[in-house]
Amino acid sequence: MSAPDPLHDLGVRTGAGGGGIRVWSEHATSIDLEVFADGDLDWAVERTPLVRDAHGVWEGSSAALVPGARYGLRVDGPAGFDHAFNPVHTLLDPYARGLAPVPDGSWRGVALESLTDGGFDWGATAKPRVPLDHTVVYEAHVRGFSKLNAAIPEALRGTYAGLAHDASLEYLTGLGVTTIELLPLHAFVSEQRLVRQGRLNYWGYNTLGFFAAHAPYASAAAQAQGAHAVRREFAGMVRRLHEAGLEVVLDVVYNHTAEEGRQGPTYSFRGIDNASYYRHDAHGRYVDTTGCGNTLDFGHEAPQRLVLDSMRYFAEELQVDGFRLDLAATLGRDDHGAYTPEHPLLRAMLDDPVIGASKLIAEPWDVGPGGWQTGNFPAGFTEWNDRYRDRMRDFWLGDLRRERETGTAGSGIGRFATRLAGSSNTFSRERGPLASLNFVTAHDGFTLADLTAYDVKHNLGNGEHNRDGTDGNNSYNHGVEGVTDDSKILAARRRSIRNLLGTLLLSAGVPMLTAGDEYGRSQRGNNNAYCHDSELNWLSWRDDARVAGLEATTRQLVRLRHENPALRPVRFGVFGETTPSASQMDWYNADGDTMTIEDWNDPAERTLQYLAASTPEFEEFNRILLVVHAHEQPTEVVLPEHEGVTGYLLLWDSADEHPVTVASEHLPGEPIEVSAQSMRLFRALGGE
């Protein structure tokens, strides 16, 4: 028989005769539960002392703790440099399922019954469970996605219900993506600095409550009805996306909280047990590996349990399909502050039957010592691959700039090919190419269009004198900074966008598109637009603001990825062996000859032919040829002769503004003219 779990059922559990609450605090000397009047969140109608057990869990019950009740905690404890107890403050339960704001800036929890007890019906639709090799991630912001879409009723634009509207679902399914990764939806607040400036945190990386959906993203009608209606609208969004076959992945921020540095606001954790929830040095100062003022201490069991309980709640009760873990290196720091892939929190995520069955995507770094950990997460995690991002940007943009300025691109084809084939130099054979989440852009940084239009960031509108945001963009403006009416420059920019889109969607690994990149969305050179809830960040749905050729290209590339399993291997192949669900890869130069060591090491070699054949396990045999030519002048390429290949059917050419509608067929050994700075994808005809 297993030992009883001392941290079970934290938070509020409601019943017919009221409810009970369990709160963890190792150092508190007293905790009182307060239940407030419905119409006055400053008026406590009941105060109940909680009783501590041997494991630091404080427990009590109240007949007033019914569904919809507003409640808070008053906590007292010892003084000292690592404590912050003050029983004057009413604190937020870390496990509160719903939140209610108080005019003085504090918060109350809202007791909620389970969704099913509240009558929510998930229907017959199950989680889509899209295999990783079929997954195409679309990173989006709930508010920004539908805020300007005139096809959606105005009251629903920019809301959970707006994302669940037919117009949104038709667009997303038409684009062909499988998995919507949503910027933070846990309840959050803006940092005090932004509030003083009259700005706000638009992205949401400043979590207030890890169990409550962010209320301002619900429709006004749901907000007016309260926390239960907000949660219901969130769940309705998930249900509708599932009915359309789309997965929902949440970007979650467990590495720090909205309480900022020691002089920041006290909402919850700091007043409940500052010494245990946050990481400190020997002098009681916060150790900040997040750049946000504080860091949760995952050397302690209770913060680990908080994360696991939050993930399980959203994956089980709210049916989300996965999590993108912000600054995930922090989640793997032990009691000495060092990162380890064997951290009990990371292992527990994988071992949990609910969480471990979800998609787990790590942002594998933080800003602390030893914080860059790309490739060093345990098997079962997919990681944002920043090395992929930087290499592909440099190959198509930085090298183009160098070739124009110096006559030589400066780097050859080898490192590009390694990333194209799944980054085997970063991820182990055991983990395979699907450990790499490939991306060229994300919410943080230039959009894809701005990568091709700006050499430097333009962040003055953020109020930080252009000091914020990275200076290392690997971008190229193609000769003019920003907006231009020069048709040649605009055409060159679109060609570079198509090359980057093609590279992303035809690479081994899991691709992630950033919302709006599929049609050329610009943020006017702002590469850190975190504080703008405006058209700078919202997607435009006007035809004149969307490049139709880019959108059509994206749709075709997503479809081609789906149709050609050779592009999406599950495993790395091993020379001389047959590996199921791997792709046999052969590499040829422009003359159709097998690449030599000299070819791979020649910095002037910028033309490559990549022949990939699937090793069938669950799908039919498939073979593709991808031709990459990254010089400023066109060239002649001799299509390779390979056993079993009888011809090549052209599927896509990045030199074309719009996808080809009539596929042309070519023979092995046939010379073809390839345009400057372009890619071509062929399906290789013939048997295995």
Q: Which residues are catalytic, by number?
A: 326, 363
* HEC per residue, 170-205: HHHHHHCCCEEEECCCEEECCCHHHHHHCCCCCCCC
How many other C-beta atoms can be found within 10 angstroms of the C-beta atom of residue 268?
27
Asked if 462 and 525 count as a contact pair (C-beta separation under 8 A), the reply is no
- Nearest C-alpha neighbor of 448 from the set 395, 515, 507: 515
CB under 8 Å, gap of 24 or more: what pairs does 55-58 form? Answer: 55/6, 55/7, 55/24, 56/24, 56/25, 56/26, 56/302, 57/6, 57/7, 57/10, 57/22, 57/23, 57/24, 58/22, 58/23, 58/24, 58/25, 58/28, 58/31
- Whole-angstrom distance, CA of residue 181 vs CA of residue 511: 12
Outline where DSSP puts E strands in 411-499: 436-438
Integer Cα distance of 223 and 318 in angstroms: 18
d(CA 239, CA 317): 12
Range 41-48 contact pairs with CB under 8 angstroms and sequence separation of 24 or more: 41/70, 41/100, 41/102, 41/108, 42/102, 42/104, 47/74
Tokens describing residue 243: 């009915």
Nearest to 244 by CA among 343, 353, 125, 325: 125
| Residue 412: how many other CB atoms lie within 10 Å | 20
Burial environment of residue 35 by CB neighbours within 10 A (0 to 12, 13 to 18, 19 or more): buried
At 73, list the tokens.
């905690």
Identity at 8, one-letter amino acid code: H
Q: Which tokens sit at 671?
A: 């010379």
Query: In b/e form, how buried is each residue of 144-155, taking b as 16+ CB within 10 angstroms?
Result: bbbbbbeebeee
DSSP 305-350: HHHHHHHHIIIIIS---EEEETTGGGGGB-TTS-B-TT-HHHHHHH
Say if residues 513 and 135 touch (Cβ distance below 8 Å): no
The one-letter code for the residue type at 312 is R
Structure tokens at 138: 């679309």
Structure-block tokens of residue 548: 């139709």
Best CA proximity match to 371, nearest among 346, 400, 393, 338:
338
At position 82, the amino acid (one-letter code) is: D
Rounded to whole angstroms, how far apart are CA atoms 111 and 183? 25
Between CA 177 and CA 140 the distance in angstroms is 12
Q: Are strands 40-49 and 51-52 parallel, antiparallel or unpaired?
A: unpaired
Q: Label the pairing between strands 107-110 and 98-101.
A: antiparallel
Going by C-alpha positions, the residue among 161, 182, 292, 194 that lies closest to residue 532 is 194
**Residue 119 burial (CB < 10 Å; 0-12/13-18/19+)?**
exposed
Asked whether 439 and 510 are in contact (CB, 8 A), the reply is no
Cα 518 to Cα 175: distance, rounded to the nearest angstrom: 9
Residue 338 CA to residue 373 CA, distance in Å, equals 11
Contacts of 196 (CB under 8 A, 6+ apart): none
Residue 608, helix vs strand vs coil: strand
